[in-house]
Amino acid sequence: MSYLVEAKRLLQAEKFRTADYGRGATEVEILAAEAELGVAFSASYRAFLREFGWMISAYLSIDGLGPDVDSAADLRRSCHSWREEVDAEIRLPRHLAPIAGDGAGNAYCLDVSRMQHQECPVVFWDHESFEGVDQIP
């Protein structure tokens, strides 16, 4: 299921009706973020970025882009933080783009090294395992 379809489904659920989300990001903003972070986003995440930009709720936050992005959901800021501001031993690998934290120091990420047909898996990066990620079914 694409990120866009899943986001729309979540926003229709009762517990997400109070979610905040953006007005969407432009193609220029998306391309600039890809260049800055050294990644290429999947087609479905790009569609999510264009339509919503980002999303914050009491249950789930999805980092993103856009002129109105909340600092807590700014994809560029969080990616730089995960990659550079933590201990060198547990820094997020460059081929992972974190799109959501779990509140315990771990992140759900796009694994852009496994891109096929413009899509890549969402993986769970455990900051304590130091050895990689588990793919989300």
Q: What mean pLDDT is predicted for residues 109-123?
A: 89
**Which pLDDT belongs to residue 7?**
63
Give CA 16 to chain center in angstroms.
18
Q: 61-97: buried (b, 16+ CB within 10 Å) or exposed (e) per residue?
A: bbbbbbeebbeebbbbebbeebbeeeeeeeebeebbb
pLDDT band at 71 (very low <50, low <70, confident <90, very high): confident
pLDDT band at 1 (very low <50, low <70, confident <90, very high): very low
Q: Structure pTM? A: 0.81
**Which pLDDT belongs to residue 88?**
57
